[in-house]
Amino acid sequence: MHSHTRRSGRAAAVAVAACFAAFSAQAATVDVTVTVQNLVPANGIAFAPLHLGFHGGSFDAFSLGGMATAPIISGAEGGAGGAWQAAFAAADPTATRGTVGGLLLPGASSSLTLRVDTALKPLFTFAGMVVPSNDFFIGNDDPAEYRLFDAAGALTLPSITVRAGEIWDAGSEVFDPAAAAFVGNNDLRTAQNSVVAFNFAELAAFNGLATGAGYTFSSGLTAGSEVYRISFEVSPVPEPGSLAMLTAGLLGVGFLARRRRVDDNLGAMSAT
Ligand SMILES: [Ca+2]
Ligand SMILES: [Ca+2]
């Protein structure tokens, strides 16, 4: 009778281990909530919607010292980002892409949840226009700069904080308040024909202008000022397939437990 119990116990343990192994094989896919926050004080810079993607590393939208091309210009001039999204999709067809937030005013935040395969897409890339400006943006030059997930699928980088000294000038549009988004007519532009460079000091040249949100702009930034944060939160996704296997496995354990009781009863009966 005791040997029956031990054998049934081992079988149950094997069944549980098997179904949890099947479950964790699917656990590389998780729901990731991306929260963006504008960290600057009132009356400072705002941000256009953030274009973002989880990916494998093959999309590089721009480089320091290089001419800005259509993808990053579409993010930096006006913020629409259509060419950025299209170029990302072409370079990395399996990337999980999205856009979060509307016009993100000082102090505001916004969130988006995406389902991400952390094994195939451990890297994070982003681009968003800074306003008021003609062609300023935030984004990562190196596609591999932000690795969010380790090989086991654990989130190892819970947030990215952007400082004023990391704001880019695309070098594609000449500084001109009359043509700058948020304070002027964004449809006007004069080609700059320069290269991508760091530049936040020029933002102060918009001080005193009325913004599209109704406040009078005041930059108030130093290079170390935190201007933007992107935070990540992960929650598990039990997929229907693995959930069914888990349920079947647990039902199997129930069956073994019932059979053990029957075996024990039979043993007890034969002993009489
Ligand atoms: Ca680059
Ligand atoms: Ca410029």
- Which ligand is nearest the CA of 167, by number? 2
Query: How many Å lie between the centroid of ligand 1 and the Cα of residue 139?
Result: 10
Task: Looking at the structure, tell me whether residues 6 and 38 fall in a common domain.
Answer: no
CA of 198 to the centre of ligand 1 (A): 13
CA of 11 to the centre of ligand 1 (A): 54
User: What was the pLDDT predicted at 250?
Assistant: 61
Q: What is the mean pLDDT of the chain?
A: 87
My answer on whether 260 and 178 are in the same domain is no
Give the tens place of pLDDT for each residue, 99-120.
Answer: 999 999 999 999 999 999 999 9
Statement to judge: residues 216 and 140 lie in one domain: yes
Do the strands 50-55 and 29-38 form a parallel or antiparallel pair, or are they unpaired? unpaired
What pLDDT score does 1 carry? 43
**Percent of the residues in the chain that have a pLDDT greater than 70, as a whole number:** 78
- How far apart, in Å, do the first and last CA atoms of the chain sit? 14
pLDDT at residue 268 in the model: 47
Instruction: Flag whether pLDDT at 188 surpasses 80.
Output: yes
pLDDT at 237: 86
pLDDT surpassing 60 at residue 59? yes
pLDDT confidence tier of residue 229, bands split at 50, 70 and 90: very high
| Same-domain status, 253 and 216 | no
pLDDT digits (tens, 9 = 90+) for 153-178: 999 999 999 999 999 999 999 999 99
Claim to verify: residue 127 and residue 161 sit in the same structural domain: yes
Alpha-carbon distance of 61 to 70, in angstroms, equals: 9
Segment 86-95, tens digit of pLDDT: 999 999 999 9
Domain identity same for 14 and 51: no
Confidence bin at 261 (pLDDT 50/70/90): low
Q: Residue 111 C-alpha to ligand 2 middle, in angstroms?
A: 29
User: Cis peptide before 132, with omega less than 30 degrees from 0?
Assistant: yes
pLDDT at 160: 98
Domain identity same for 210 and 224? yes
Domain that holds residue 259: 2-24+239-271
Which-ligand-closest: CA of 171? 2
| Number of domains within the chain | 2
R_g (Cα) of the chain, nearest Å: 27
Residues 20 and 99 in one domain: no
Question: Could you tell me if 55 and 256 are in contact, meaning their C-beta atoms sit under 8 angstroms apart?
Answer: no
Q: At what angle do helices 2-25 and 240-271 cross, to 10 degrees?
A: 180
Of 139-153, 178-192, 215-229, 257-271, which gets the smallest average pLDDT? 257-271
The whole-number pLDDT of residue 257 equals 54
pTM of the model: 0.80
Judge whether 16 and 245 are in contact, CB under 8 Å. Answer: no
**Mean of the pLDDT values across residues 251-258?**
56
Compute, in angstroms, the gap from residue 189 CA to the centroid of ligand 2: 10
| Ligand at shortest distance from the CA of 137 | 2
Distance 21 CA to ligand 1 centre (A): 39
DSSP assigned state of 178: G
Residue 9's pLDDT is 60
Q: Which two tokens stand for residue 176?
A: 């001109």
**Proximal ligand: closest to the CA of 199:** 2
- Tell me the CA–centroid distance for residue 175 and ligand 2, in Å: 5
Looking up residue 75, the CATH number of its domain turns out to be: 2.60.40.2130
| pLDDT at residue 21 is higher than 80 | no
Tell how far the Cα of 35 is from the centroid of ligand 2, in angstroms.
Answer: 28
Residues 109 and 192 in one domain: yes
- Which residue, chain included where needed, has tokens 């030059």? 141
Whole-number pLDDT of residue 14: 56
Residues 249 and 193 reside in one and the same domain: no
Q: Which helix (H) or strand (E) holds 240?
A: helix 240-271
Rounded distance from Cα 236 to ligand 2 centre (Å): 43
Ligand nearest to the CA of 69: 1
Residues 125 and 203 in one domain: yes
CA of 153 to the centre of ligand 2 (A): 39
Residue 39 and residue 12 share a domain: no
